[in-house]
């Protein structure tokens, strides 16, 4: 029998986990979702195969990425310990005001991707901790927490920059009007930054009006890399998979595979490449009643953004937040805007600056 780290009696107690003891999915269970080996993106042939594959699927996994498992495990566990504290304790780390680039804790069902995306009113069935933001001092709950977050941020930022460099190189090998200029290199690679957070979906009753645990959306980043762990709880032959890609009305579950990160293309890379790289639409499914006791799930999400002064020409991405801003007249299709202006227009209803 599989031993679990999940506390059935108290779903808001999150004991430490060991990645070694989780019930991971096999690589084969990813079906036709590509798994890209980061060490094999060197030759022209490798890069061409890579770009064709990822453009077709709009989503992919990476392996041999160089981020050590012990660091990921430690990062997850410092957050699990924090999430297990009383709400009163955790409240000390709730940011004082609603700013878009702000670090700290957001309690269970306090955020709503649906509201921000303009697709509904339901709350996300999760709690989160944003542990790194651009150009902002962060107060961490304790020293170890801070050390682990800083180290992870450093490593994940380097990884994403490397991945982007390969992606930009590969884009030069196929027909596209994207040019890998010095400006792209400066503003998108050297001056780019990550915004990192952990998300924890506890195995408790979901809101009735929530159609999804996290409403489907496009990421507002350039790209996002996401580390997901298998759900905790009792062993099942057919465990609950949360993350789903939505493609032409079809929902494709993407299981957690050990040693891999999932990569999403966000709205900004769609704008940058004039739609050659398409943003993907994804969300997190609600567990069924049978799945609920074993549905506790965690992810570490790293959103990558270029320098705020970067200029982008706006494409039309139906259903995205930038498209909403085009529809309500705050932005125009084809308009050239800085990332700063774009983000203000996209989030003006929800965040102050
Ligand atoms: Fe997302």
CATH number at residue 88: 2.60.120.330
What's the whole-model pTM score?
0.95
Among candidate residues 308, 169, 291, 315, the one with its CA nearest the CA of residue 230:
291
Please report whether residue 26 resides in a domain.
no
Which residues of the chain are under the pLDDT cut of 70? 1-6, 8, 234-235, 352-353
pLDDT value of position 1 = 39
CA of 254 relative to ligand 1 center, distance in Å: 13
- Residues near ligand 1 ion, CB 5 Å cutoff: 219
Q: Cα separation of 282 and 287, whole Å?
A: 16
CA of 11 relative to ligand 1 center, distance in Å: 24
Pair 279, 267: CB distance under 8 Å: yes
Among candidate residues 82, 77, 81, the one with its CA nearest the CA of residue 20:
77
Please report whether residue 21 resides in a domain.
no
Please report whether residue 320 resides in a domain.
yes
Please report whether residue 182 resides in a domain.
no
Please report whether residue 149 resides in a domain.
yes
CA of 219 relative to ligand 1 center, distance in Å: 5
Count of C-beta atoms within a 10 Å radius of residue 44? 11
Please report whether residue 88 resides in a domain.
yes
Residue with tokens 């957690």: 256
Q: Cα separation of 306 and 43, whole Å?
A: 26
CA of 282 relative to ligand 1 center, distance in Å: 6
Domain total of the chain: 1
Structure tokens at 162: 């490397």
CA of 218 relative to ligand 1 center, distance in Å: 6
Q: Are strands 59-63 and 35-37 parallel, antiparallel or unpaired?
A: parallel
CA of 68 relative to ligand 1 center, distance in Å: 23
CA of 196 relative to ligand 1 center, distance in Å: 12
Give the pLDDT confidence of 124-133 residue by residue, as tens digits. 999 999 999 8
Structure tokens at 254: 């993407």
pLDDT value of position 234 = 65
- Three-state secondary structure call for residue 25: strand
CA of 124 relative to ligand 1 center, distance in Å: 12
Please report whether residue 243 resides in a domain.
yes
pLDDT value of position 348 = 82
pLDDT value of position 4 = 53
CA of 225 relative to ligand 1 center, distance in Å: 9
Give the pLDDT confidence of 62-100 residue by residue, as tens digits. 999 999 999 999 999 999 999 999 999 999 999 887 777
């Amino acid at each position: 029998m599989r031993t679990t780290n999940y506390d059935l009696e108290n779903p808001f107690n999150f004991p430490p986990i060991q990645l070694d003891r989780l019930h991971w999915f096999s690589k084969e269970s990813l079906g036709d979702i590509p798994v890209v080996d980061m060490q094999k993106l060197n030759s022209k042939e490798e890069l061409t195969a890579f770009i064709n594959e990822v453009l077709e699927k709009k989503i992919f996994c990476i392996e041999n990425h160089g981020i050590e498992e012990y660091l990921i495990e430690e990062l997850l566990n410092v957050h699990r310990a924090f999430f297990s504290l009383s709400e009163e304790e955790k409240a000390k780390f709730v940011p004082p005001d609603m700013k878009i680039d702000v670090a700290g804790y957001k309690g269970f069902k306090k955020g709503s991707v649906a509201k921000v995306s303009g697709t509904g009113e339901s709350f996300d069935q999760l709690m989160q901790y944003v542990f790194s933001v651009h150009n902002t001092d962060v107060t961490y709950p304790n020293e170890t927490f801070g050390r682990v977050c800083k180290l992870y941020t450093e490593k994940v930022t380097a990884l994403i920059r490397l991945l982007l460099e390969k992606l930009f190189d590969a884009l030069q090998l196929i027909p596209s009007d994207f040019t890998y200029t010095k400006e792209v290199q400066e503003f998108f690679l050297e001056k780019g930054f990550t915004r990192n957070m952990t998300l924890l979906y506890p195995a408790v009753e979901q809101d009735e009006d929530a159609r999804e645990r996290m409403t489907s959306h496009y990421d507002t980043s350039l790209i996002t890399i996401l580390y997901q762990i298998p759900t905790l709880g009792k062993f099942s032959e057919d465990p609950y998979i949360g993350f789903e890609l939505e493609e032409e009305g079809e929902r494709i579950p993407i299981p957690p595979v050990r040693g891999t990160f999932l990569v999403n293309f966000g709205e900004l890379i769609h704008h940058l490449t004039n739609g050659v790289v398409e943003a993907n639409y994804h969300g997190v499914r609600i567990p069924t009643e049978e799945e609920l006791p074993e549905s506790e799930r965690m992810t570490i999400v790293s959103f990558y953004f270029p320098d705020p002064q970067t200029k982008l020409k706006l494409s039309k991405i139906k259903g995205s937040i930038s498209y909403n801003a085009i529809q309500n007249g705050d932005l125009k299709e084809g308009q050239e805007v800085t990332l700063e202006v774009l983000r203000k227009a996209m989030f003006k209803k929800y965040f102050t600056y």
